[in-house]
Structure 1
Amino acid sequence: MGRPMTAHVEVMDLVAQMKAAEQAFVLATVVRTVSVTAAKAGAKAIIRPDGTIVAGWIGGGCARGAVLKAAREALADGEPRMVSVQPEDMLAELGVKPGENRDGIRFASNLCPSKGTMDIFVEPVLPHPSLVVFGASPVAMSLAAQARQLGYHVTLAAPSGDLSVVPDADVLVDGFALGELHPAKRFIVVSTQGKGDEAALRAAVATEAAYRAFVGSRRKMAALREKLVAGGVSPEALDHVKAPAGLDLGAITPEEIAMSILAEITVERRRGQRASNFSQGS
């Protein structure tokens, strides 16, 4: 009698550890079973992005393929989903085909001899998105503080001598050599504003990111681009740096400029998730 509860506690302990370590994974929970002996309601499993089940149990191969497919998709768009594994004759009675989605539920066929039904809730758990800010300018400081309030993991990189106040950041890097970074979808903003522009841009284009931007005019960026290309930096890499950073909101103050940049980052961050939400709601 003690084994299922022990297994459940072990899974939830590992969930807490993986969340604290900012690792991406899926928590799959069996919410209903009919005529299934392999797993019962409440059974849980943790699935890594590579498809391995690292803890827990959600039944055998009858449900595994459908759950792993849903797990991959959930990690890609950040949205939870429900999977219902049923015998083919029951799917036919419902008028649905294996692989079809209806009312937010994906139906899959149970080809196992048990011919049971199993509903599994697939929930992605993603690390906080990562914002890397280069510079100690007022815009950089405001960007770090606002991003933290929006749930970003913030790394601020600037020479310590340039900092007049302690920035509101998760990680503070002295200079522009980043080292190992927080493993998540990453956004980079260079807001050096005259203090180490070239070094910061060089580090920014060498770092993997979904978005890179420079706080400064197009003319300033063009001049820096010329110097950096002459110094061996790839022109294609520099072409992916947005300048000036942010949406055109008519921003004037450092706080407003930071807000316009975070608005632009939000558009980029939510792009795939918005499409998913609209398709589910339609």
Structure 2
Amino acid sequence: MRNKRMLESDKVLEKAASLQSQGKPFALATVIRCESPTSAKPGAKALVEPDGVIHGWIGGGCAQPAVIKIARRALEEGQPYLIRISPERSVESENGIMDFGMTCHSGGTLDIFVDPIIPRPGLLVLGASPAAQALAALAKRVGFQVLVAFPGATRETFPEADQILDGFDMAAENLPAELFVVVATQGKKDEEALETALGLPAQYVAFIASRRKAEKLKAYLLERGHNPTQVNAIAAPAGIDIGAVTPEEVALSVLAGVVQARRVSAMRSQDKPVTLPLAVDPVCHMTVDIATAEYTHLHQGQTYYFCCKGCREAFAKTPEKYLVQAETGV
């Protein structure tokens, strides 16, 4: 049994490593405590992708829907959660533990730690100017995966960069899924750097230059046949106006603009309406995907959806009890 659990955990960790190498987010759920009887034991692991697909085993029935729900929340908020799945929800939850009172027949209790694994956003700095050097160092401290590309760029010039490319050829590079680009050439190979930036799947492109210079180079890019929407979206002059003078101050201004763009984009994505057809289990109040729900019950012409067989049977015996609770919130 122990060897089997170890093999299952190895598979989950291999999947985690694969997703990390691809720069994809996921949540890792680990059983840290149990009270028998439970099918999952301490150390059992499962990996949950943002779309709710789960790999591994941390219990079935009531456990999986709870873990998937909290995993999605953890990924959206970027913070871990400790959840408890037990036959009855505690009147007073322990500090730091999110309780899920379930009616499944197993009767056991599981404490599961759900940890979101979110890849660092990538900042690609095109250029080797003093501002580029200051930006690469500062962005690393803020939490970005820093890539630098410019002919002749060296580790000595960019000691804190995660990756350094000698030139603008990005064809063979495995770039971060969340990518921001700053052109910091400041007069050296501006055109080549800007065209490189426009050819990348970046969420945001900024150009350190005066307004007049930026307008001239945008006109050049349009003449070259680049997409007008992409060209006009280039943030130039780059950054937030703080009256920056030194390269370090310019880097601070530019990085503030990148962070602002990233946070605004994240808020907009969270405002998108949920399109999945969902229902709420009237017994345990778990969210249930209607399209894949296995347990349903028809009562007075309305279909109700359940996370497990135990919830469906409890509802079928006394539906009025649970419908009154749903109306009163008791």
Q: Normalising by structure 2, what TM-score? A: 0.67
Question: Residue 205 of structure 1 corresponds to which residue in structure 2?
Answer: 198
Question: Residue 238 of structure 2 corresponds to which residue in structure 1?
Answer: 245
Question: Residue 253 of structure 2 corresponds to which residue in structure 1?
Answer: 260
Distance 2:70 2:2 in 1: 30
Question: Residue 148 of structure 1 corresponds to which residue in structure 2?
Answer: 140
Paired residue secondary structure (1:225): helix
User: How far is the alpha carbon of 1:57 from its aligned partner?
Assistant: 2.7
User: How far is the alpha carbon of 1:17 from its aligned partner?
Assistant: 4.8
Q: Deviations over 1:66-104 (max 9, x none)?
A: 2123223322332222334344xx34x7499xxxxx987
Structure exhibiting the larger radius of gyration computed from Cα positions: 2
Q: Deviations over 1:261-281 (max 9, x none)?
A: 2223233445559xx9xxxxx
Aligned-partner residue type, residue 112 of structure 2: I
Q: Is the 8 A contact 1:28 1:123 kept in 2?
A: yes
Aligned-partner residue type, residue 113 of structure 1: H
User: How far is the alpha carbon of 1:8 from its aligned partner?
Assistant: 8.7
The answer on 1:226 being equivalent to 2:227 is no
Q: Which runs of 5+ in 1 are unaligned?
A: 97-101, 277-282
The answer on 1:128 being equivalent to 2:129 is no
Paired residue secondary structure (1:242): coil
Q: CA distance change for structure 1 residues 266 and 5 in 2, over 3 Å: closer, same or farther?
A: same
User: How far is the alpha carbon of 1:164 from its aligned partner?
Assistant: 11
Q: 1:114 aligns with which of 106, 109, 120?
A: 106
Distance 1:61 1:186 in 2: 39
Task: Return 28-37 or 17-26, whichever deviates more.
Answer: 17-26
Identity %, equivalent residues? 44
RMSD after superposition: 3.4
Question: Residue 62 of structure 1 corresponds to which residue in structure 2?
Answer: 62
Aligned-partner residue type, residue 124 of structure 2: V
Q: Is the 8 A contact 1:11 1:46 kept in 2?
A: no
Distance 2:195 2:101 in 1: 52
User: How far is the alpha carbon of 1:167 from its aligned partner?
Assistant: 2.3
Q: CA distance change for structure 1 residues 12 and 67 in 2, over 3 Å: closer, same or farther?
A: closer
User: How far is the alpha carbon of 1:150 from its aligned partner?
Assistant: 3.0
Aligned-partner residue type, residue 78 of structure 2: G
Higher relative contact order (CA 8 A, sep 6+): 1
Q: How many residues align?
A: 264
User: How far is the alpha carbon of 1:52 from its aligned partner?
Assistant: 4.3
Question: Residue 323 of structure 2 corresponds to which residue in structure 1?
Answer: none
Q: CA distance change for structure 1 residues 16 and 36 in 2, over 3 Å: closer, same or farther?
A: same
